[in-house]
Structures are given as structure tokens and as C-alpha cells.
Amino acid sequence: MYNEFVQFVRTIYNSSDFIPLHAPYFAGNEKKYLEECIDTTFVSSVGEFVDRFEEITKSYTGSTKAVVCVNGTNALHMAMELVGVKRDDEILTQALTFIATANAISYIPAHPVFLDVDKDTMGLSPVAVENWLKENAEIRHGETFNKKTGRRIKACIPMHTFGFPVHLDELVAVCEKYHIELIEDAAESLGSFYRGRHTGTFGKVGVLSYNGNKTITTGGGGMLLFQDEKLGTYAKHLTTQAKVPHRWEFVHDHIGYNYRMPNINAALGCAQMENLGMILENKRKTAQMYKEYFRDNESIKFFEEPKTSKSNYWLNVVLLSDKNAQTAFLEYTNDHNVMTRPIWELMNRLEMFRNCQTDDLTNTKWFADRVVNIPSGVRV
Ligand SMILES: *Cc1c(COP(=O)(O)O)cnc(C)c1O
């Protein structure tokens, strides 16, 4: 049965070699722009590709401002600083995420609280957030505090898992009700839309990543998305050592960061953005083929985008019937040179986060035992 799947993947990827889960795809102006950087010597922290990459991303996502970062993890760190997260605050997020979300919270250092995801999105559940707040939180003078720990609950960071948008309207509403800042970890969801609007533009700050395995890559890189222009301008200042602009003086007015993406990476980003439409179409077609393939399968279900959303189908997902079936599927496919993998180990099960607060994580655990990612790169 799994053999048939392996053959199917080989057919759609037209390959008898190793098939990776995802791979960068360079088919446009990447080389040309990189050569431009080298020829002009603008490879580092100055250069026109940075501005251009921010402009393109701003207009593609419908943001008011976009600010580059050296990677998605420190873009998340910046996002928290920018909305005023302070030492010892609590941050509501999901256990079902890549480690970067929880790591960035720890840099403040703040405390992650791991709450359950929805069955139809695999992302943070607004109902779980509201239920947890009802039981654990109290509002005092326009701020929300945890009744048990006494700590302030300052922000909420949902993650659009594998590109599937969470229920944003409901999440925005519950965050507003409790005066909690919403930051979207949209690292996996460039090209994903919720009710027609790009993910990462609903919260106060949205974060994108251009790591090598993401939908498009800059080698390494991240982006901050803003609706508030002033906050975006301040983000630029903070990520560039908080230097006061002057022709020759070096004066800084804040503890800043050197988080600006080099021009050479932004050059790759500009070229990649030119092909984003094609890449997304190709990925959507792949998802469609998998969907057809698994349509009548009783024991393996293909995970589809939620009704309110358009997913970028960054990584395709199948759900096996239980943990044993998941292991058997992973073993067979990886033994046969078709790369597949389970979802990340849940954050609350890792040594560093073992003592963090959680809710019952019912859906989270259900997914952990069933999810397998299957090859999702661009078919050439
Ligand atoms: C990729 C990713 C990030 C950012 O990763 P970087 O490698 O630092 O760019 C953050 N959160 C999630 C959920 C991710 O998948």
C-alpha cells in the first residue's frame, strides 16, 4: 500500500532519485542580482535590494510597512520588543510549532504558555485561548494578569502551521477583549490568505521567514510586517543599531540590534519574489494531485485548507490513523528514498519547556500522533 504512494510521488516529481521534503527553487534573476551585488561591491548592510525587497513585500502582503531581519527567529524577538513584552511576561502560543517561536519568547526572557490548536487549522485555537483566559486571567487597569502566577499576560503568538491560516477574526477578538497584543508567526505562510487578506497583517506585527526550506528563500532571512507605520519605522531603527541618522557622527539613542538583512540576501529575495506566483501555483497543483490521490483512502487523509482560507501549501500533510501507522509510513517512505517526517516534538515535551503552563492539548496530541509531511517542493 505504501509502495503505491512511493511510486506516485516518483511519478509527480518525475524522479527515481532521493526526493526531498522541500528544496529551494532558483529559476529567475537570482544569479543576475547576486552578480550585481558583487560587481557594485554592495554585498553588505547598504544597497538597493534591501529597500526593493521591503517594498515588494509590503505591497504583496498589503502591509503599511515591511522591515527585513537576518532571520525569522530574531524577527520574532524584535516583534515582542516592539509590542512591549518585558521580562517575566507570559505569552500565549501553541505547543505544536517549530522551536523558533518558543526560543524567541525565551530571549526576552518571557514565559510561553502552550495552548491547544484547532482540528481544522492545526493552529492556535481562539476557543482554547478564551477558555484558558476565563479560568486563569483577570483584567486590572487595562492589563491582563495570570491569577495563579501573578505575571502579566502581554502577547499572543499564533503560528500558521505549514501555511494553514488560524481562525484570525476570532483570535483578534479575544486578544482585544483581554488587551493582549497579537503577533503572528507567519514564518511558514508567505502566500497564505485569510478571508482574502495576507497572513501576518492581522496582528500588530507579523513575521515571515526565508530560511532555505521555506516557500521562497534568501539563504537566511526574515521580515517584520506592520499596519502601524510609526511602529515599522521604529523597527527599522531598532534593527539597525538604533543609530541616529547623520552623515559622519555615530550616535545611538537606544540599545539596538544588528538584525538587518545583508543586501546580498535581499537580492535573492527580490529574484524569488518575481517567481512567487508561479511557485504558489505549482504547489497548489501538487496539493490538488495529493488530494485526488488520497480521496478514497480510508486510512490516510489528506489535510486541506480551512474554508475561510487560501493556504500556500508550503508543506503538504497527511494524517495517519494512529501512532503505529504513522511510524510505519515514515519508515517505509524514508527507507525508499522519499523523504517524509512527523510534526515537531511538542514544545511542552522538550526539556527547556517541560515546566511551562499548558491546557489539556487534546487536539495537539492527536495531531502529534498522526501528522506526516510529504514531499512538497516545486515540481520542475
Ligand atoms: C522557519 C520558522 C521560523 C523562523 O525561522 P528562521 O530559520 O529563524 O528564519 C519561525 N517560526 C516558525 C514556525 C518557523 O517555521
Whole-angstrom CA distances from 230 to 236, 260, 357 are 10, 18, 34
Residue 24 grid cell:
529551494
Environment class of residue 7 by beta-carbon count within 10 Å: exposed (0-12), middle (13-18) or buried (19+)?
A: exposed
Active-site residue, 214 included:
yes
Torsion of CA 196, 198, 204, 209, to 10 degrees: 160
Q: Which atom of ligand 1 is nearest to the CA of 214?
A: 1
Distance CA 288, CA 15 (A): 19
pLDDT of residue 221: 98
pLDDT of residue 46: 83
Distance CA 149, CA 135 (A): 13
pLDDT of residue 117: 98
Nearest 5°: the CA angle 179, 180, 181 is 120
Ligand 1 atom 13 nearest Cα:
98
Question: What separation in Å is there between the alpha carbon of 100 and the centre of ligand 1?
Answer: 5
State whether residue 208 is helix, strand or coil. strand
Residues 282-311: tens digit of each pLDDT: 999 999 999 999 999 999 999 999 999 999
Question: What separation in Å is there between the alpha carbon of 169 and the centre of ligand 1?
Answer: 23
Question: What's the pTM value of the predicted model, to 2 decimals?
Answer: 0.98
**Which residue among 58, 214, 283, 310 is the active-site one?**
214
Q: Which atom of ligand 1 is nearest to the CA of 209?
A: 9
Residues near 130 by beta carbon (within 8 Å), at least 6 away in sequence: 174
pLDDT of residue 358: 98
pLDDT of residue 228: 98
pLDDT averages per 10-residue partition of the chain, 380 residues: 96 97 97 96 90 98 98 98 98 98 98 98 98 98 97 98 98 98 98 98 98 97 98 97 94 95 98 98 98 96 96 98 98 98 98 98 98 97
Ligand 1 binding pocket mutation candidate from 68, 97, 190, 211 (most atoms within 8 A of CB): 211
Environment class of residue 33 by beta-carbon count within 10 Å: exposed (0-12), middle (13-18) or buried (19+)?
A: buried
Distance CA 372, CA 316 (A): 8
Q: Phi and psi for 209 in degrees, rounded to 5? A: -130, 145
pLDDT of residue 1: 82
CA 209 vs. chain centroid, Å, equals: 7
State whether residue 316 is helix, strand or coil. strand
Domains of the chain: 2-25+276-374 (3.90.1150.10), 30-274 (3.40.640.10)
CA dihedral (201, 29, 216, 326) positive or negative: positive
Contact 314, 25 (CB under 8 A): no
Distance CA 293, CA 5 (A): 9
Distance CA 351, CA 87 (A): 21
Q: Which atom of ligand 1 is nearest to the CA of 207?
A: 10
Question: What separation in Å is there between the alpha carbon of 214 and the centre of ligand 1?
Answer: 9
Question: What separation in Å is there between the alpha carbon of 212 and the centre of ligand 1?
Answer: 10
Ligand 1 atom 7 nearest Cα:
211
pLDDT of residue 132: 98
CA dihedral (269, 273, 278, 281) positive or negative: positive
